[in-house]
Amino acid sequence: MDVKDLSVSIGSQFRDLNGLHPGLWPLAPRVLSGIALLFCVTLLGWYFYWSGQTEDLDRGQQEEQTLRDSYKQKMQQAISLDALKEQRKLVLQYVATMEKQLPSKAEMDALLSDINQAGLGRGLQFELFRPGLAVVKDYYAELPINIRLLGNYHDMGEFVADIAKLPRIVTLNNLAVSSNKDGTLALDVVAKTFRYLDKDELVTQAALKKGAKK
């Protein structure tokens, strides 16, 4: 049978189908009807069921990516937090060390005595040793001391080194060396030491800052 005869044979199977039960249709109409039905079912299933699942799947994938990004961000924050905690520990240790070098108000007399003894221990003569008025800062007070020493150059250098070795913070400022008629040297210097504020002074400073803001 050639193609033309096959086409005529298949076409004849679609004639006179009206009134016949689909189960009695020839093979070609039944196969074609089955394919059409399958296509319609597939199309309806996609429209009413599978398309919604695809959208849910897309949303799920987007949520998964969002959660992954959030997880990575929180992991980075956690790593950074650990580093910040370590830095905070180091800062607190440094602050604690610095606070130990700041005497309290009650310890200032002992510190002034240490400075005086540092000069006398090197054989220097104090011509002037006059503490000035304390300058109160936010968290500490600065006490300037005007000093004039007489002696030789070597002993003055040793005195400066001894001041640097004191357990408390003392800075030497505005150093000026001059010679006397008797051949000795005179050292004029402003020593500055620092102390931390007591509770009452901290309260006063806080009140002053609050009033200044108003």
* pLDDT tens readout for residues 52-104: 666 667 777 788 888 888 878 877 777 777 777 778 777 767 556 655 556 66
Torsions phi, psi for 38 (to 5 deg): -60, -40
Nearest to 166 by CA among 91, 100, 95: 100
Side chain identity at 125, as an amino acid letter? Q
Side chain identity at 200, as an amino acid letter? D
What's the CATH number of domain 105-213, 3.30.43.10, 1.10.3720.10, 3.40.50.12160, 3.30.70.60?
A: 3.30.70.60
Per-residue pLDDT tens for 52-66? 666 667 777 788 888
Q: What is the pLDDT of residue 69?
A: 82
Q: Please give the Cα distance from 177 to 188 (Å, whole number).
A: 6
Stronger pLDDT, 213 or 42, i.e. the higher one: 42
Across 4-8, 14-18, 41-45, least confident range: 4-8
For the record, the structure tokens of 34 come out as 């089955």
Across 6-10, 34-38, 47-51, 109-113, least confident range: 6-10
Q: Please give the Cα distance from 73 to 48 (Å, whole number).
A: 38
Domain ranges of the chain: 1-71, 105-213
Enter the DSSP assignment of 163: H
pTM of the model: 0.50
Q: Please give the Cα distance from 180 to 68 (Å, whole number).
A: 80
Residue 147's pLDDT band (cuts 50, 70, 90): very high
Q: Which residues pair with 128 in a beta bridge?
A: 148
Length of the chain (residues): 214
Residue 20's pLDDT band (cuts 50, 70, 90): low
